Amino acid sequence: LWGLLMEEASLGDLLGTPAEEEHVRNSALLQRAKRSWVWNQFFVLEEYTGLEPLYIGKLHSDMDKGDGSIKYILTGEGAGTTFTIDDSTGDIHAIQRLDREVKAQYILRAQARNRLTDRPLEPESEFIVKIQDINDNEPRFLDGPYQATVPEMSKIGTSVIQLTATDADDPTYGNSARVVYSILEGQPYFSVDAKTGVVRVSLADMDRETRENYTVVIQAKDMGGQLGGLAGTTTINITLSDINDNPPMFDQRLYQMSIPESAPVGSVVGRIWAKDRDIGVNAEMKYSIIDGDGRDTFDISTDPTNLFGIITVKKPLNFENKPSYTLKVEGANTHLDPAFRHRGPFKDVTIVHVSIEDVDEPPQFDLPAYYVELPEDAEIGTMVKTVSARDPDAANNTVRYSIDRSSDPDKYFYIEITSGSLMTVRSLDREEVGWHNITILAMEMNRGLIGAERQMRDRTPQSFISVHQPLTSLRFPADNPTQIASVSVAVRVLDVNDNPPSLMHYLEAYVCENAKAGQLIQTVTAVDPDEPLGGQHFYYSLAPEAVNNPNFTLKDNQDNTAWILTRRGGWSQQDQTVFYLPIFISDGEQPVQSSTSTLTIRVCSCDQEGNVMSCNAEAYSLPASLSRGALIAILACIFVLLVMILLMLSLRTHRKKPYLCDEEENVHENIVRYDDEGGGEEDTEAFDIAAMWNPREAHHHLGKMRQDMLPEIESLSRYVPQACVMGGGSGDSNVHGYVLAKLLEADMDPCAPPYDSLQTYAYEGEGSVAESLSSLQSGTSNTDHEYDYLNDWGPRFKKLAEMYGVLETNSPPLW
């Protein structure tokens, strides 16, 4: 396994004297040094499983006398970890398990040194430890499992996929890495080449429609397939891809379909399908109508999946004209395989019978729209147009007409319900409404409803059936209210010359005082709401009564305008400030329309350029003796007088008004005057009624004034000495005496405000036996009231009965 070649050399030659050593070093520069020991490569098998370290080899120098003076040192890959050396004997051992697939060789370096001086006896030398292979790795399919596809109906020998197994053993050493392939599962459909690993088809005419997926198991064995070799397996999932080898076929020889006649163009009638056992593009179809009486009425197309044929309506249907159609439809594959054309034809034919369903259709007008021209001077009752509609169904029911009032809100027209004659019921005016777009409704009437209609017409008074209230106001129910047809009638109102022209813009002009004769002062223009075909043409002249006007004249410019010119000069506001000039205007259409407009001309003072400065004559009407300064003084006096009057009125409004002291008007209620709107029962600032709640604390509020207004009224809860209280014993008597004292004080003071405290909480209930307790509606005389009825009101009014009424017992009066 290893060898060692010694060369003669003495230990003295290695050690020597210092002088000799120096000579040796100097001579080494001149000649090649002679090695004392060399060795070859070491070889060792992998996967050693023994308990002892694996002996690899021995290093020995001829200088080693066996006295232990030489120390062997091992360095390099794995030294000390994988390999060790006995420094005395030079024996090398492997202390770890070696695997060639992990590392195939190790490069080590060895050196012999003097154990005492640690000086190298020889230069360091390199050697290799190679790991020899054994068959310890099975072949592996690194990319498995595999997916493969092959077209159906493939010939024998068609390649499917090539597999490659990898063996980690050394291919240069023995047969450990020589792999042979075989098939374990998948016969007789597929086979594998033993050397190349190519999987091929081994059975002809495999049909995808019969079986689509196959599972094949392939084995790879090393050692050339011999006994004892290691093996690995993998799986191939093989799918047969589709080819167009099956023709389509309709599942029905005859299809029955139906569709209502009211279906619009483009409506779907039905769907047909020529089934194909193939899939994908090989099953895509194209449908066409090749024969039948419905080729022009129906159409067929392929749905987005390219599998189904969709039959649609191509032209409007009419049950009364043709109740059924027959179609001959062909379905053919769009993608053909030339290798399988002999299996054709790849198409099929079926018959489709389409029945048209009768539906109750709305009436149909003879025209899609009507256009009428009518002069605006047409008389009331003029027939505009007669519309006609019929029932397209076989029943041919009677049709009745009416006007959609939303299209004629002002009710200019009326239609006769049976004949469809459209007439006017109001005068037309093109200048007001030039176009009328009327919607006529037509509805079917069955025989029973027609009889009811006649009875209603017979029972309707003739006074009701008039031009202004036509029969369209009689509403008859339709046989099918949803089946109502409509048509548009456009009525254009033609123009008639029925409006006179008139002056446009302003009817006023001015003439300057310095104007001369023949000067232009105004250009007038007329307007006419009529629109004649030849265009407007107006004629101007002065009215007959102004033909000989000495001040102004008129010139017709023959272009629908006229000039107003002066006939004289010397104008003055003092003489006359306003002139009225009547102008006669007529148009050129028949019948001729004319009108007279009056132009107001004012005399104004102007500057040199003709700009108006003043058109008022008041400044010239003042007396000559009244100067401008006097006029200003008069105006100033008037202004001062007005200011004094306003000041006096303002002082009077702020003067305090005295209270009424008339005892006739002294109503015993606490009525307090507010300068602003009060807050109702939430107003707690008007006065303090704490004294009424606790009479003993009345003196704490002495002199308390109202907080939200000027102190016009003294607090109602003024202090009353206890000496004035009669019968002061208990708490009730104190209250009783307090109230009586306050009442006496109020009666003695005629200028005091009413002393009753009226507190309003919501409203008085109507269910109270006492009814209203307010004294506002009591008598105004000073006579005593009778309060004996207080005894009948129950215990709640006992105290009031004691104070104001007569007790049932013979108790002495309190005062």
- Which string of DSSP letters, residue by residue, matches 676-691? S---GGG---S---HH
Residue 570's pLDDT is what?
A: 87
Q: Which residues of the chain have pLDDT under 50?
A: 1-38, 448, 452, 456, 459-479, 618-624, 659-669, 674, 691-730, 755, 762-763, 779-783, 807-815
Q: Say yes or no: 237 and 281 in one domain.
A: no
Q: Does residue 508 sit within a domain?
A: yes
Q: Say yes or no: 549 and 601 in one domain.
A: yes
Q: Say yes or no: 398 and 487 in one domain.
A: yes
The answer to whether 484 touches 427, Cβ cutoff 8 Å, is no
425-446 pLDDT per residue, tens: 999 998 889 999 999 999 987 6
Q: Environment class of residue 565 by beta-carbon count within 10 Å: exposed (0-12), middle (13-18) or buried (19+)?
A: middle
Residue 784's pLDDT is what?
A: 55
Q: Does residue 417 sit within a domain?
A: yes
**Which run of H or E residues covers position 454?**
helix 447-459
Residue with tokens 């054309």: 341
Length of the chain, in residues: 815
Residue 176's pLDDT is what?
A: 79
Residue 207's pLDDT is what?
A: 92
Residue 469's pLDDT is what?
A: 41
- Provide, for the chain, the percentages of residues in helix, strand and coil under a 3-state DSSP scheme, each rounded to the nearest 5: 15, 30, 50
Q: Say yes or no: 184 and 275 in one domain.
A: no
Residue of 327, 322, 293 lying closest to 309 (CA atoms): 327
Residue 694's pLDDT is what?
A: 47
Q: Say yes or no: 294 and 215 in one domain.
A: no
Q: Does residue 762 sit within a domain?
A: no
Q: Say yes or no: 221 and 255 in one domain.
A: no
Dig out the tokens for 553 from the structure. Answer: 């004249």
Residue 205 belongs to domain with CATH number: 2.60.40.60
The answer to whether 93 touches 74, Cβ cutoff 8 Å, is no
Q: Is the pTM of this model over 0.85?
A: no
Distance CA 364, CA 396 (A): 11
Q: Say yes or no: 518 and 579 in one domain.
A: yes
Phi, psi of 337 (to 5 degrees): -100, 115
Q: Does residue 705 sit within a domain?
A: no
Q: Say yes or no: 231 and 285 in one domain.
A: no
Domain range for 563 is 502-614
Beta bridge partners of 350: 329
Q: Does residue 291 sit within a domain?
A: yes
Domain final position from 357, 382, 404? 357
From residue 27, how far is each of 20, 24, 454, 577 by CA, in Å?
10, 5, 154, 155
Residue 135's pLDDT is what?
A: 80
Q: Does residue 624 sit within a domain?
A: no
Domain final position from 438, 461, 494? 494
In three state form, how does the secondary structure of 129-141 look?
A: EEEECCCCCCCEC
The answer to whether 97 touches 48, Cβ cutoff 8 Å, is yes
Distance CA 94, CA 398 (A): 120
Number of folded domains that form the chain: 5
Phi, psi of 691 (to 5 degrees): -65, -30
Q: Say yes or no: 576 and 485 in one domain.
A: no
Q: Say yes or no: 489 and 369 in one domain.
A: yes
The β-bridge relationship of strands 198-201 and 159-162 is antiparallel
Domain final position from 357, 375, 407? 357
Residue 778's pLDDT is what?
A: 52
Distance CA 755, CA 37 (A): 149
Q: Does residue 792 sit within a domain?
A: no
Q: Does residue 439 sit within a domain?
A: yes
Residue 146's pLDDT is what?
A: 94
The answer to whether 292 touches 325, Cβ cutoff 8 Å, is yes
Name all contacts of 195-198 with Cβ < 8 Å and 24+ positions apart.
196/162, 197/162, 197/163, 197/164, 197/165, 198/159, 198/161, 198/162, 198/163
Q: Say yes or no: 113 and 162 in one domain.
A: no
Q: Say yes or no: 375 and 280 in one domain.
A: no
Distance of CA 426 to the CA centre of its chain: 49
362-412 pLDDT per residue, tens: 898 999 999 999 998 899 999 999 999 988 877 788 899 999 999 999 999
The answer to whether 717 touches 699, Cβ cutoff 8 Å, is no
